Every structure is written in C-alpha cells, then in structure tokens.
Amino acid sequence: MLAIGVWVIGFLSWPMVGPADPFEAVSAPAGGVFAALAALAFAVGFVSYFAAWPFGGEIGVLAVPAGLSVWAIRSGSMGDLTQLKATLAAQDSQELLAVVAQRQQILADIKWEGALWLLVVAAGFAGVIIAQFLIRSSRSTCGAKELALRTLGLAGHPLLEVAGREGEVAENAEKKTDSNADGKANSKANLYLSGLVALLGSVLMGHFFLIVFAQDVSLGDPAGGSVVGQPETGQLIFAIPAAFALAAFILKKFLDAGYLWTVVACGFVTAFNITLYAKGNAVDELVSQWPAVFFSNSVMAILPVQMVALGVIGAIGGYWGAIKFEYWRKHESD
C-alpha cells in the first residue's frame, strides 16, 4: 500500500515539483499544478484503501505522506535554500540590510507553505474516506460522518458522541428543559475546547520534541545565545516522525484525542517557529554573525514539505502506538 504512494507521488510525479538544481528545496506548486497534485493524492488515497484491505481505513491514509516523504528526502535542505538565495555578501551596513531582506523573504515564502502540503495530505485522506464509505454504506448503518471520524482517529471520543446526537436533540428541542439545553451547550463548548487544546498541545509538543531530536553542531552566539548548524537529512528522517509520534501518543494517552489534531499541527509548526524565532532583530543578528547554514534553532532548519510529510507519518504511528500500549497494559496479565 505504501508503495503506491511512494511510486505514484514520490517518483512518477517528481517532475511536478522537482527543481532544476538538485540543491534547491522543493516548494509547494501553485495553480493548476497544485490542483493536479491534490487530485492525484485523492486517487492514491482511494486506491490505497483497497490495496490495504481490510485495514484500508487505518493504513491507507499513510500512502500520500509516504509519497511526499520521497520528495522531502530528495529535496535540498533549508541550508541549501538560504545559501542559494543569499546572492550578496554583507560587507557594510547597506549590504547587510539587503541580505537580511533576502532571508526575511525566504521565511515569508515558506511560513504558511505547510498548510498547502497539508491540503495535499487531506486530499489523500478524503480518497480513503470516500472509498470506505462506498464499500460500507451498502451493508452498514454507519454514515459518512462516522466513517470519517473513524478514519481520522476521532470515533469513540465521548465529546464527539455528544456532538453526533445534535440532530436528535434539535428535533426534540421543544421537549427539553432549560437545564438540558444548558448541558448541550456546555458539551458543545467542551468539544471545541478539547479540540483547541489538542491542536495547541500538538504544536507546542511537536516544537519542543523537534528541538530535542533535530540536533547538529551547536555554537555559542556573541549575543548570548547559540546557533545550530543544518541537521543532516538522516537526522531529520528520525527527528520529525519521532517528535510528532510522541505528541500524538501523549494526546491519545491523556486526552483520548485522535491523530487529526497532530496531523493538522504538522502544517502549522513552521509558521509557529518562524513567528517565534524570526521576530525583532533576530534575523539581523544571525545574518551579520553567521554563515547561511546556521540557524537560531534547529526547528528553523526544517522545510515545510519535510515537516508535513514525515510529521504526518509520525503522528499516525504515535496514535496507533498509544492504542496498542493501552491494549497491552490492560491484557498483560491475561
């Protein structure tokens, strides 16, 4: 099943995004190319559901991230990107300002790119959900909404069970007392709050664990902090899945949250990192003191395609790891 995504997206579709210079970083396509990629991702997810039968709903969602991971590995690094774009050498204050502007433009270009890659992953998820619905709808009373929740690891959460009964509550609203109406409103508010906490928790934990796992040469900075070199691709292949796997594991273990929240967080950690570490004079000081392959933090050395492709795989793996851990813990004495 993973081979479908790796072959169709990772290799056959490489010309859609492959840069002319092998050291250039892969960026999200725009316009018609992006639409074609999303359609292809949908088709890959749809076919992968049947290829992974009878576990297509659980495994098929990995096909598109697996294909994107090939691109993430073949891509140039963030360090390559900053070097290729840094066409000026800062010799005086005017040239320094120009170099700083170049670096800031790079960060602005990639800040929200993770959301675009997340849409490609979502198209693959949609393909799996549609395939699952077409197969099960004829022999099950389970609706499209419940199938989607199951596929995204959200089914069974008590708050979602309350939300799923909203239609029934609405039909009998005139029969409900004010206290019941208040209870429904509170349950709905708790549902939104639970999702918000899970999403923010995923972003913060993903950010923290990336700092722990994505290591390279660290040097003291004259400003009193430190800088880190561009981590090797092999290090990122370990660090990114591990970081989001731990985040998803913790959320499932302690909040009973599905992997959807951690998957979504993968698309926004880059924006969070840039907002946190590129504010004020941080870019000016970095450019003036260090070569282009050094960053204020290791999380700044990760491309959006790497964050999303490898992070989604880790998030799904961490979620199922938490389920298996709970099963093992409850049945270890059997």
DSSP 259-312: THHHHHHHTTHHHHHHHHHSSTTHHHHHHHHS-TTEESSGGGG--HHHHHHHHH
Q: Is the separation of the CB atoms in 132 and 49 below 8 Å?
A: yes
Residue 68 is predicted with a pLDDT of 97
Q: Tell me how long the chain is.
A: 334
What the block records as the tokens of 233 is 């691709």
How far apart CA 108 and CA 275 sit, in angstroms, is 10
The tally of CA atoms less than 13 A away on the side-chain side of residue 297 is: 18
Q: Tell me if 113 sits within 8 A of 27, measured CB to CB.
A: yes
Separation of alpha carbons 209 and 220, rounded Å: 21
* H or E element at residue 326: helix 304-331
**This prediction's pTM:** 0.85
Q: How far apart are CA 161 and CA 163, in angstroms?
A: 5
pLDDT at position 281, please?
81
pLDDT at 204: 96
Where does the chain show beta strands of DSSP type E?
Answer: 218-220, 226-229, 294-295
Per DSSP, helices labelled H in 214-259 are: 233-255
Q: How far apart are CA 269 and CA 53, in angstroms?
A: 33
- What's the N-to-C CA distance of the chain in angstroms? 33
pLDDT per residue, tens digit, the chain (334 aa), is: 689 999 999 999 999 999 988 889 999 999 999 999 999 999 999 999 999 887 888 889 999 999 999 999 999 999 998 887 665 455 556 777 888 888 899 999 999 999 999 999 999 999 999 998 888 775 555 555 565 565 565 654 433 433 333 333 333 434 444 445 555 556 677 777 888 999 999 999 999 999 999 988 888 887 767 889 999 999 999 999 999 999 999 999 998 889 999 999 999 999 999 999 888 788 888 888 888 889 988 899 999 999 999 999 999 999 999 998 887 877 765 5
Task: Please tell me the distance from the alpha carbon of residue 147 to that of residue 155, in angstroms, as a whole number.
Answer: 8
Domain extent listing, the chain: 2-331
Contact indicator for 95, 285 with CB cutoff of 8 Å = no
